């Protein structure tokens, strides 16, 4: 970077095709709002000023933008009268900025940093305007990028206004455009709205620059990364593109995905090499998995840390605040929440561990529940190292089980169990001799009598 950079993010569209009460640009891809993707892109490009252009109909987008970027980082476009009109709404916010500005879109979440960086880089090479283009499999209604004999960009032609020869061009306009900020706003002041829609088109900037004898260029991107989202169908397409990219990145980095198409990642999932992920696993936001761990089939993880060599699942639910220690086992139908599980500890079957610390090499029997909630507040359970929790133990928090202690199966533990002790809470068992035999005979006789009456 040799010149200051700014980004203008257009987020003022109504998004009516989403048919949603939620602003279009706040719908997530990979567990992250689309607008947050674009803001992150602008930050990764080194933009020192980022302005999000919103409409009066999407106040939530304004709140989200300012929460991420700070006050004074949004501009209002009301009513929306085209892309050039939207960019022009940022004029006051960028007053006095002398660097380069790029126009991005809050509904286009998948553009890679290295791709957008080329748009900026071409300005340093002497071009006055740079546009991100892509080769479309089906150009259809996309605007066409028309190049001259020297390979420079001559014009952007809308499909409905293109000649047959121009419609044959496969290089299409993504909408992303960059120029020195003072020049961009100077050209925008010349854009007219003498078209069928009465809107001000950003694409006219290229022709206006060329009319001044300035050079423009088209930088190549890929069709999948410039996908814009205007409907639930396109939202699903963007999600599929993201997941395909994330799966590929994981496998290249040394992660084994035994059925890649069934594994779903979040935008911030971190998985080390030599991790194995079995089919139908879902990673929610804020998951870190260290090397050697195995995530078995049909498990769901979110906001948790899985340490080296841990075994998760199958059918495990690892909820926020969980920290699963090295070589620990969290087995089938076990749920954890705000649980710190020590190295080598095991909870293999049908258990809930919430608001708990479990010491190293402790064994948690099947059916154990930490009873952590009284309807108003949450309470903590502390289980020491090398403890043994018998099956079907109810641990009523707050309670502490000491190091090396045990609980008897079927106990409801309401008091602390000292280190090395056995905690046992059961009613005395009574055996009534012959009771079962007499009960069966009585029931059989009643059934026979009933059948005889029905047959009469």
CA distance 106 to 11: 5
Whose structure tokens read 């906001």? Answer: 303
Active site (catalytic) residues: 349
DSSP 158-216: -GGG--HHHHT--EEEEEEEEEEHHHHHHHHTT----STT----TTHHHHHHHHTT--E
Counting Cβ atoms within 10 Å, is residue 412 exposed (0-12), middle (13-18) or buried (19+)?
middle
CA Rg value for the chain: 31
CA distance 144 to 160: 10
Angle, alpha carbons 140-146-147 (nearest 5°)? 140
CA distance 53 to 56: 10
Q: Are 303 and 282 in contact (CB under 8 A)?
A: no
Give the HSE-up count for residue 253: Cα atoms under 13 Å, Cβ half-sphere. 16
- With b for 16 or more beta-carbon neighbours within 10 A and e for fewer, the 191-221 pattern comes to beeeeeeeebbbbbbbbbbbeeebbbbbbeb
Give the HSE-up count for residue 132: Cα atoms under 13 Å, Cβ half-sphere. 27
Angle, alpha carbons 237-243-248 (nearest 5°)? 130
Residue 135's DSSP bridge partners are 171
Chain length of the chain: 456
CA distance 65 to 69: 6
Q: Are 131 and 218 in contact (CB under 8 A)?
A: yes
CA distance 256 to 276: 5
């Amino acid at each position: 970077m040799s010149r200051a950079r700014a980004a203008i993010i257009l987020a003022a569209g109504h998004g009516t095709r989403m048919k949603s009460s939620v602003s279009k640009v706040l719908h997530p891809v990979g567990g992250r709002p689309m607008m947050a993707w674009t803001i992150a892109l602008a930050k990764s490009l080194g933009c020192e000023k980022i302005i999000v252009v919103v409409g009066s109909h999407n106040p939530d987008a304004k709140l989200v933008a300012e929460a991420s970027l700070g006050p004074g980082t949004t501009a209002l476009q009301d009513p929306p009268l085209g892309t050039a009109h939207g960019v022009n709404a940022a004029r006051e916010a960028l007053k006095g900025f002398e660097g380069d500005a790029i126009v991005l879109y809050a509904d286009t979440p998948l553009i890679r940093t290295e791709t957008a960086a080329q748009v900026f880089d071409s300005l340093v090479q002497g071009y006055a305007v740079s546009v991100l283009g892509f080769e479309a499999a089906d150009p259809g209604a996309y605007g066409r990028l028309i190049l001259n004999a020297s390979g420079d960009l001559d014009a952007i032609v809308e499909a409905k206004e293109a000649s047959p020869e121009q419609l044959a061009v496969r290089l299409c306009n993504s909408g992303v455009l960059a120029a020195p900020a003072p020049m961009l706003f100077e050209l925008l002041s010349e854009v007219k709205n003498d078209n069928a829609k009465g809107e001000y088109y950003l694409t006219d900037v290229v022709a206006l620059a060329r009319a001044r004898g300035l050079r423009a260029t088209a930088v190549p991107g890929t069709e999948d990364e410039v996908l814009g989202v205007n409907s639930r169908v396109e939202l699903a397409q963007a999600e599929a593109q993201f997941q395909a990219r994330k799966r590929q990145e994981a496998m290249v980095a040394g992660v084994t995905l035994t059925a890649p198409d069934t594994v779903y990642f979040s935008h911030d999932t971190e998985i080390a090499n030599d991790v194995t992920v079995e089919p139908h696993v879902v990673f929610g936001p804020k998951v870190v998995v260290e090397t050697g761990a195995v995530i078995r089939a049909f498990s769901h993880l979110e906001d948790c840390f899985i340490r080296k060599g841990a075994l998760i699942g199958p059918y495990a639910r690892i909820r926020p605040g969980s920290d699963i220690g090295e070589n620990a086992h969290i087995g089938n139908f076990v749920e954890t929440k705000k649980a710190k599980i020590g190295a080598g500890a095991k909870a293999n079957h049908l258990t809930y561990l919430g608001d708990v610390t479990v010491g190293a090499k402790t064994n948690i029997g099947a059916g154990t529940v930490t009873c952590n909630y009284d309807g108003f507040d949450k309470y903590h359970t502390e289980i020491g190292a090398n403890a043994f929790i018998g099956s079907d133990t109810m641990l009523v928090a707050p309670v502490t089980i000491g190091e090396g202690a045990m609980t008897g199966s079927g106990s409801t533990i309401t008091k602390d169990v000292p280190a090395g002790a056995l905690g046992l809470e059961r009613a005395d068992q009574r055996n009534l001799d012959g009771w079962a035999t007499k009960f069966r005979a009585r029931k059989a006789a009643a059934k026979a009598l009933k059948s005889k009456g029905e047959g009469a």
